[in-house]
Amino acid sequence: MRRGSRHLNSDDVMALKYTKKVMDHFLHPRNMGELKDADVEATDGSPACGDMMTIGLKIDPKTHKILDVKFKSYGCASNIATASVITEMVKGRTLEEAKKIKWNAAAEELDGLPPVKMHCSVLAAKTLMDAIRKYEKMHGLLEGGEEELSAENIRLELRNIINPEMGIDIVRLKMVKGISVKKGVVKIRISMGNTDRVYEDSIREEIEEHVKAMRGVKRVEVGFST
Ligand code: FES
């Protein structure tokens, strides 16, 4: 786990006031376990907390439908609940349909999550997307090959960074004021607006970890203003 974070105990879980659906999926997770004959598997970690999870997929090679999906989580209640619900949502769908299901749709399906726990649903959705992309790469299904490194694609990636104070991503909150890319060096300007400056470091770290993982990135510089 990252500095300053810790796993929740049962008192913490109750104190977070989870919805009935979250508690149901947390206590009775669907599709949890190992998919022995998985065609592809992806493991991902959350930059926000350092927790990890794995998702395995069984895919029909002709229709590209997800025949089966299972997850293993070393994350918290929110992560287990989101992984449970998002795996239910994608089972039986084609890869193209599954790619349209984002972390916020899964959180909505759970009737919401506490703002500070939204990054846990990002982890579940991102691990699923990584498994899909890995399968697409293995089978030459990526149209036009790898995505180019562009301000537009970086902005899309920044939609996975949650402002922990509001539980909304920094793009939707209009906190991203500028993105430039030159020879692999990415510069991003963030306005904290009314957000407590106490979250500045964690937002910076998350941006750096997400963007550095993008293909072609050599360096990331994040600047903040009020
Ligand atoms: Fe790490 Fe939820 S706190 S996944």
16, 46, 82, 103: which to mutate for ligand 1, most atoms within 8 A of CB? 46
The distance of Cα 183 from the centroid of its chain, to the nearest Å, equals 27
Please give the angle made by the CA atoms of 60, 138 and 105, to the nearest 5 degrees.
65
Question: Among 2.60.40.770, 3.40.50.1820, 3.30.530.20, 3.30.300.130, what is the CATH number of 151-225?
Answer: 3.30.300.130
Distance, in Å, from the CA atom of 81 to the CA atom of 113, rounded to the nearest integer, reads: 10
Beta strands 185-191 and 219-225 are: parallel
Distance, in Å, from the CA atom of 29 to the CA atom of 70, rounded to the nearest integer, reads: 10
- pLDDT the model gives residue 184: 93
Question: What does the DSSP assignment read for 93-120?
Answer: SBHHHHHT--HHHHHHHTT---GGGHHH
**76 assigned to active site:** no
Residues lining ligand 1, Cβ inside 6 A:
46, 49, 51, 75-76, 78-79, 117, 120, 123
CATH architecture of 10-138: Alpha-Beta Complex (3.90)
Domain with CATH 3.90.1010.10 in the chain: 10-138
What is the number of the ligand 1 atom nearest to the C-alpha of 50?
1
- pLDDT the model gives residue 49: 86
Question: What does the DSSP assignment read for 48-103?
Answer: TT--EEEEEEEE-TTT-BEEEEEEEE-S-HHHHHHHHHHHHHHTTSBHHHHHT--H
- Residue 193 is classified by DSSP as T
pLDDT tens, per residue, the chain with 226 residues = 443 344 445 555 555 789 999 999 999 999 999 999 999 999 998 878 889 999 999 999 999 999 999 999 999 999 999 999 999 999 999 999 999 999 999 999 999 999 999 999 999 999 999 999 999 988 888 765 566 889 999 999 999 899 988 889 999 999 999 999 999 999 999 999 888 888 999 899 999 988 998 889 999 999 998 7
pTM for this prediction:
0.79
Domain with CATH 3.30.300.130 in the chain: 151-225
